Chain A
Amino acid sequence: AQSVSQHNHHVILSEAASLELGCNYSYGGTVNLFWYVQYPGQHLQLLLKYFSGDPLVKGIKGFEAEFIKSKFSFNLRKPSVQWSDTAEYFCAVKLGSGNTGKLIFGQGTTLQVKP
């Protein structure tokens, strides 16, 4: 069955540390890839997305992610985290091209940044 796996469930970092959150998916066809962030008490907001082209995509707030097709991965990175990055992060994969519609989320990673 198609699935999305986020390896890190809970990450604790100090401010200015570098961040990398893993995301792998199991689907052999065309995919669109997303990272969403959910701040405490709020709904999900888009951080960045990959549809095609340059596999290194840059999003808001200094986040970036790299799509490595051979590894079925789309890891999220940030060189220097801030206390305000404390949130839950979700990787999501849309299966198939065009209008197939099905979009699956990973289990989420809780990031806690200590000031």
Chain B
Amino acid sequence: NAGVTQTPKFRVLKTGQSMTLLCAQDMNHEYMYWYRQDPGMGLRLIHYSVGEGTTAKGEVPDGYNVSRLKKQNFLLGLESAAPSQTSVYFCASSYWGSSYNSPLHFGNGTRLTVT
């Protein structure tokens, strides 16, 4: 019963490097989200997906790209990392339907530092 799994847990990048964060969920949820959490700013939505093959921009999408090739996976990419992207990144998934709604299920987070 894994729920939402994020990899890696920690990462240090140099400015200009690229990386991909992986989020996997085993609950057959349609909706998946990437948030970043910064002190005093709460969680801000980067991108989200309402189903396999779909993505949409959130509140702070610049500098990030995402892909949802498989229903269970949602990838967050940083093509050219910047110090401003130092943050804790959370993935979440949920199901919104006409007869049943689930709240977000969160992963344990990825702490990214860009030097």
Contact = CB atoms under 8 A, between A and B. Distances in A.
Interface residues of B, number: 28
Contact of B31 (A49, A92, A101, A107): A101
A101 B11 CA distance: 29
Contacts of B52: none
B30 A105 contact: no
Contact of B106 (A6, A43, A100, A108): A43
Task: Bin chain A's interface residue count.
Answer: 20 to 34
B103 A99 contact: no
A25 interface: no
19 contacts: A32-B101, A34-B103, A43-B90, A44-B104, A51-B101, A90-B42, A94-B96, A99-B97, A101-B50, A101-B96, A102-B45, A102-B56, A103-B45, A103-B48, A103-B94, A104-B59, A105-B44, A107-B40, A108-B43
Interface of A: 6, 9, 32, 34, 36, 42-46, 49, 51, 90, 92, 94, 98-108
Interface of B: 30-31, 33, 35, 40-45, 48, 50, 56, 58-59, 90, 92, 94, 96-98, 101, 103-104, 106-109
Q: Which 7 A-B residue pairings sit nearest by Cβ, starting from the closest?
A: A107-B42, A105-B43, A43-B106, A108-B42, A101-B50, A46-B103, A44-B106
